[in-house]
Structure 1
Amino acid sequence: MTFIKGMDISVQTEIEQLGAKYYNGGEEGDAVHILGDYNVNQIRLRLWNNPYDADNKPYGGGTNDLPTTIKLAQRAAERGMGFLLDLHYSDFWADPGTQVKPKAWQDLSGEALERAVYQYTFDTLKELERNGVLPGMVQIGNEITNGLLWSDGRFENGKAMIRLLAAGVEAVRDYNPAIRTVIHLDWGGDNALYRRWFDEAAAAELDFDIIGLSYYPFWHGTLEQLTDNMNDISSRYGKDVLIAETAFPFTIEQIESEVMIFTEEHAASVPYAIDAQGQSQFLLDLMNAIRSVENNRGIGFFYWEPTWLNIRQARWATEEGKKYLSNDGISANVWANLALFDFRGNALPALQAIRDF
């Protein structure tokens, strides 16, 4: 199997509409084409059920509805890239701290909610294939460390959570058994967490193919802890492992008055310089760690939002989106120093490290 050198470019359509420009060696170009020039071979795209309010105003953060996802997947397919579909099963961001049911499913629970998950998953794949972009992998939920579709699918409600996940997996299997399914948690360096979670999934005989891990070295432990965890869980559960999200900064420079996710406090916690060379070295070390997983179980990585440039209007959420999440702090653009293009849109050396690996 070809080692996955992947990028999550879910924000791409929106940020281009806001004026983002990209350059490779001083020449302006299409961001997807530039990534292809650096041997990026897969993309990952999140999908939100209905990221609009009652007045049809978008929630922002990429506004990743199905038409947006299809168009981005088609652009990537033109460059010969594969496609991982990241189903959030929510109308907006889903992560360990937020797993909100879609508006249309608010009154559903039990078997009715399971049927909704199945039918939505199946219908989504059908529409993707109709448009020529059937994914090779599908994530059943996003960073579901604490479950999904709260409160029904919380991790503490073990059997209910497993039934919801099984409904999604079954829909993928029924539509096309060649599509590989991914179960994705955060905290990639926390082996105790992964054993606790996947022991429960194994006991329930949840049928899936790949364990996805988020690994941001300023949050999720050391690279050694990640490597040990990948080796343990791939052997313990007989699964391939995939770094579903990662990123590392190329600068500590602030953007005007924005509060950045990566801070000087984080800089003190990682064994790399916070510059373009440090970013390259981190990615090289990460790729070597993935490839070192025993029995060739480490299949690759996806870099999260490498094209999210320093454009003030490109925010995690619009005013409507902030209402959905009840968290004003997510409105800012705080990701630009973690991209693989600098603040002016120039391709960074880390892309060369990816190409040459």
Structure 2
Amino acid sequence: MIRNFAGAAHNKSGILAFLILAITAFSACSSTKPAQGKQSKEFAKGGDVSWLPQMEASGFKFYNDQGVEEDCLKILKDHGINTIRLRTFVNPSNDARSGHCSKDETVAMAVRAKKMGMRIMIDFHYSDSWADPGKQKKPAAWEGHSFPQLLDDVYNYTADVMTALKTSGVYPEWVQVGNETPGGMIYPEGKTSNWKQLTQLINKGYDAIKATSPRSKVILHVDQGNNIPRFRSWFDSATAHKAKYDVIGLSYYPYWLDGKPDYTLSINDLSTNLNDLVTRYGKEVMVVEVGGEDTKVQNTYDMLVAVQQKVRAVPNGKGLGVIYWEPEGAKSWSGYGLSAWGSDGKPTKALDAFLK
């Protein structure tokens, strides 16, 4: 009896040890498994920093508030930025300001930002360079393709970039199908004058994203975030044609608004639009581009505080965040006057708005 009891006790001890080892091993595996697009409820405070690699390659130096040279992403993080947005071009040139942003460069930047603990947004332009309200030129490699071929082009290119990100352990939290598309994308086939075709292109992008990273939220992006009729018209059409998406993205640049260069003249319209979009379409909303004059630092700071307040005030947490374009893109390097960086290589006070 004693021997049998001892044997039983030995067996129980062995089983217990095995269970402990199994649980430990499972926990270890779980802790190292990629998040696979896990969504965070934290308010997104972001910056599109797609120029950053070329700024660094050209020798531009970044300094923190104390004047000490430091990694730009670290400086941004210390100013409250928790999200990095990256554009991707199909076959870009090597022009420092309007090229680069290839698949490989985008993936490298995404990995770098992830290592800094940042959340990631990818912005598909579906062009070889800038796509915006003034131009939505299809990639040169897609010229002459039939519409069915274009659908395949969109799916395959989107899937290729998303797969490269996934292989590198990056599952973007958000992905844009198109950039500032009030008139559509991939002209002429994807113009809003042919919503049936535009929707098919959008949905091919959506499907490729979800097939690779199911939890990534797909954004459709229109400019002039204070322009309520513009958004109603566009998203009514998107809804009628069954375009697939998760989040409505808005640009808001008071500087570019006709007759309304100061944000105080349009900020309430932005707020009304944000709330109208949530009520009308049942989607989440996000200001994916915002910027103010680098020479009017206090005004830009005040504008950023106000925009964040308006997005946070959207009911039921459906206002997801605010992304600056491009905070680090100092005018002395880029020629762009709406950054939040000085020619001395240091961020301006405007960036402090993300510490609020």
TM-score between both structures, scaled by the size of structure 1: 0.83
| Coordinate RMSD, CA, aligned | 1.4
- For 1:325, the equivalent position in structure 2 comes to none
CA distance in 2, matches of 1:340, 1:58: 23
Give the helix-richer structure, 1 or 2. 2
Q: Greater CA radius of gyration, 1 or 2?
A: 2
1:28-107 pair list within 5 angstroms: 28-52=69-93, 58=95, 60-107=97-144
- For 1:354, the equivalent position in structure 2 comes to 354
Is residue 166–residue 212 contact of structure 2 (8 Å, CA) maintained in 1? no
How many Å apart are 1:112 and its aligned residue? 1.3
Question: Are 1:301 and 2:322 matched, yes or no?
Answer: yes
1:43-192 pair list within 5 angstroms: 43-52=84-93, 58=95, 60-192=97-229
How many Å apart are 1:297 and its aligned residue? 1.5
Question: Are 1:247 and 2:266 matched, yes or no?
Answer: no
Aligned residues: 308
- Whichever residue aligns with residue 230 of structure 1, its letter is L
Question: Are 1:7 and 2:47 matched, yes or no?
Answer: yes
- Whichever residue aligns with residue 243 of structure 1, its letter is V
Q: 1:20 aligns with which of 45, 60, 72?
A: 60
| Cα displacement string for residues 269-316 of structure 1 (whole angstroms, at most 9, x for unaligned residues) | xxxxx2x2222111111111111112221111110011112445x4xx
Is residue 12–residue 62 contact of structure 1 (8 Å, CA) maintained in 2? no
- Whichever residue aligns with residue 85 of structure 1, its letter is I
- For 1:281, the equivalent position in structure 2 comes to 302
| Cα displacement string for residues 101-122 of structure 1 (whole angstroms, at most 9, x for unaligned residues) | 1111111132211111011111
Is residue 247–residue 338 contact of structure 1 (8 Å, CA) maintained in 2? yes
TM-score between both structures, scaled by the size of structure 2: 0.83
Is residue 11–residue 62 contact of structure 1 (8 Å, CA) maintained in 2? no
Unmatched tracts of structure 1, length 5 or more? 252-273, 315-332
- Whichever residue aligns with residue 106 of structure 1, its letter is E
- Bigger mean CA offset, 289-298 vs 196-205: 289-298
Q: For residues 311 and 352 of structure 1, do their structure 2 counterparts lie closer, same or farther at Cα, with a shift above 3 Å needed?
A: closer
Q: For residues 23 and 142 of structure 1, do their structure 2 counterparts lie closer, same or farther at Cα, with a shift above 3 Å needed?
A: same
CA distance in 1, matches of 2:250, 2:274: 9
- Deviating above 6 A after TM superposition, structure 1's stretches of 4 or more consecutive aligned residues are none
DSSP-derived class of the 2:288 partner: strand
- Whichever residue aligns with residue 318 of structure 2, its letter is R
- For 1:237, the equivalent position in structure 2 comes to 281
| Cα displacement string for residues 223-263 of structure 1 (whole angstroms, at most 9, x for unaligned residues) | 01111111101110001111010001131xxxxxxxxxxxx
1:190-209 pair list within 5 angstroms: 190-209=227-246
Unmatched tracts of structure 2, length 5 or more? 1-40, 261-265
- Whichever residue aligns with residue 305 of structure 2, its letter is L
DSSP-derived class of the 1:295 partner: helix
- Whichever residue aligns with residue 38 of structure 1, its letter is H
- Whichever residue aligns with residue 353 of structure 2, its letter is A
